[in-house]
Amino acid sequence: MKPTHLILAALLATVPAAAIAGGAHTAFDVAEDLSRFVYGDAPVFEDGMPAYGNAFVTQGYVYPAGTLDGGVEGTNPDGTPAFPDKVIGTWTCDGYYVGDGFRTVAGTVVVTRQIIVFDGGELLITQGPELAETDVEIVRAVTGGTGDYADAPAEIRQTLLGMSDGYGVRLQMEFAEETAASALNPSPGTFAALDATMDAADYGHGGR
């Protein structure tokens, strides 16, 4: 291994897991507060439910990963959190219905932006499609973050755990482990590029 490889390997060894700061949550659950769900007057179906193209906004609570496992509800009927002592942030989601609107039973049902504000004030923003099926993973793009999430991986995985009787969603979010692995195990091309940079720097300084 060339000396430049050793230098790069030493630098990469300091990269935290999932490429985000140590205080960040690499996985968490979300419970929608259905009392905060609002959608447009049109377009709607005959029964008043949102059809394709309808815009909406909703909010909910963020919990530590695993809180909502086994069909546990994270929100009370009055919209308050079921586990107030476990809440670690708030979740805001806006977007549009696609597919067959609210009647979609498979595939993408909405395309959304999600803004998560953790208790420490850090922001995490993601965008992408959301599926109608439960227990099916989909990848969303991480489009922004602050604090511990300023250098978050580019992708986060979302799984719909289920929906409450009032149709409030329960979600599980997790950064992909392979993103951290790729950061800690660069491709040979990474080393080649660094070699070229270092060789050019050496040439500019008389080879010293």
> 70-88 pLDDT, tens per residue?
999 999 999 999 999 999 9
Alpha helix (H) residue ranges in the chain: 3-12, 177-184, 188-204
Least confident of 126-130, 163-167, 195-199: 195-199
Number of domains in the chain: 1
User: What torsion, rounded to 10 degrees, do the Cα atoms 12, 139, 36, 106 define?
Assistant: -170
- Inside any domain, residue 103: yes
Backbone phi, then psi, for 179, in 5-degree steps? -65, -40
Supply the CATH number for residue 134's domain: 2.40.480
**pLDDT tens figures, 96-141:** 999 999 999 999 999 999 999 999 999 999 999 999 999 999 999 9
pTM: 0.77
- Inside any domain, residue 205: no
- Inside any domain, residue 203: no
CA atoms 107, 110, 113, 116: torsion sign:
negative
- Inside any domain, residue 23: yes
- Inside any domain, residue 113: yes
- Inside any domain, residue 115: yes
User: Domain range holding 68?
Assistant: 3-198
Alpha-carbon span 80 to 191, nearest angstrom: 52
- Inside any domain, residue 52: yes
Closest CA to 113 of 131, 101, 95, 97: 95
- Inside any domain, residue 8: yes
